[in-house]
């Protein structure tokens, strides 16, 4: 997934109202408002003074002329903060057959209604094999060592998705929870059970029901975000 417009650097002043951020583009003294496409807590990724990367736009229909895309991290690492990116990255990877656990299904459909009131991120189907329901979650929390975690705040919706996937397994389908780590300084994945105990319980219940859990890293640059190597799930 490539960014359609070259990114520009800026300094973060503050993030507020979840979807807004005050930033100062490099080479300017003017504070501008950027769209923050992330409803989560963004722990460690929204501190004052961090160097961030913005995508400018000249769309007259958009109120904000900048979208926040990346955060610079120590050691030359980057983190993506746009929670819409993982679905785009995984969609490209599924269609290219780049995820071995999910390769070989000729039809890849996004946003298909399933369960009671949900839409699955991707439904894989093909002749002579069970359908595969794939939910994708963005993981960019890191609190210690090289460990990525999910979630970074309470997510009742995420717990519901786990139960929905378990329901699909009970109906004879295959179901996969795929965590995409959108930062380049992590090598393992685990749940942040202390931040959302209910999600941890739902995860254990889903795994016991036959839901699979896999995790992949990402390669991130100022040009775009692509699928990285598989990461061990250490739960």
pLDDT higher than threshold 80 for residue 235: no
Interval 160-183 mean pLDDT: 97
Average pLDDT, rounded, for the chain: 96
pLDDT at 117: 83
pLDDT at 122: 98
Could you tell me the pLDDT band of residue 115, with boundaries at 50, 70 and 90?
confident
Distances (CA, A) of 113 to 117, 122, 145, 202: 7, 10, 38, 21
Q: Does domain 8-80 have CATH number 2.40.50.580?
A: yes
Nearest to 9 by CA among 28, 19, 17: 28
Q: Does domain 85-230 have CATH number 3.20.20.70?
A: no
pLDDT higher than threshold 90 for residue 153: yes
Query: Do the domains 85-230 and 8-80 match in fold?
Result: no
Indicate the pairing of strand 118-125 with strand 147-150: unpaired
Name the token pair of 26: 């490099």
User: What are the pLDDT digits (tens) for 12-28?
Assistant: 999 999 999 999 999 99
User: What are the pLDDT digits (tens) for 55-99?
Assistant: 998 888 888 999 999 999 999 999 999 999 999 999 999 999 999
Interval 43-58 mean pLDDT: 96
pLDDT at 10: 98
Percentage of residues in the chain having pLDDT higher than 70: 100
Domain boundaries, the chain: 8-80, 85-230
CA 34 – CA 171 distance, rounded (Å):
44
| Three-state DSSP class for residue 229 | strand
Distances (CA, A) of 181 to 91, 193, 209: 15, 17, 24
pLDDT at 143: 96
Could you tell me the pLDDT band of residue 177, with boundaries at 50, 70 and 90?
very high
Interval 127-135 mean pLDDT: 94
């Amino acid at each position: 997934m490539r960014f359609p417009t070259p990114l520009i650097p800026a300094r973060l002043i503050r993030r507020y109202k979840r979807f807004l951020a005050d930033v100062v583009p490099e080479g300017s003294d003017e504070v501008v408002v950027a769209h923050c496409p992330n409803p989560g807590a963004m722990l460690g990724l929204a501190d004052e003074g961090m160097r961030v990367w913005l995508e400018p736009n000249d769309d007259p229909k958009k109120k904000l002329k900048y979208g926040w895309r990346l955060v610079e991290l120590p050691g030359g690492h980057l983190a993506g903060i746009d929670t819409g990116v993982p679905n785009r990255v995984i969609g490209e990877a599924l269609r290219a057959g780049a995820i071995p656990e999910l390769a070989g299904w000729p039809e890849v459909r996004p946003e298909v209604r399933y369960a009671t009131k949900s839409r699955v991120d991707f439904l894989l189907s093909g002749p002579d094999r069970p359908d595969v329901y794939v939910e994708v979650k963005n993981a960019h929390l890191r609190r210690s060592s090289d460990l990525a975690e999910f979630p970074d705040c309470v997510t009742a919706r995420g717990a519901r998705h786990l139960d929905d996937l378990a329901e699909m397994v009970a109906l004879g389908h295959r179901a996969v929870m795929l965590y995409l780590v959108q930062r380049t300084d992590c090598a393992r994945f685990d749940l942040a059970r202390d931040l959302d105990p209910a999600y941890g319980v739902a995860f254990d219940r889903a795994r016991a029901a036959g839901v699979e859990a896999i995790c992949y890293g990402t390669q991130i640059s100022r040009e775009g975000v692509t699928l990285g190597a598989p990461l061990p799930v250490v739960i």
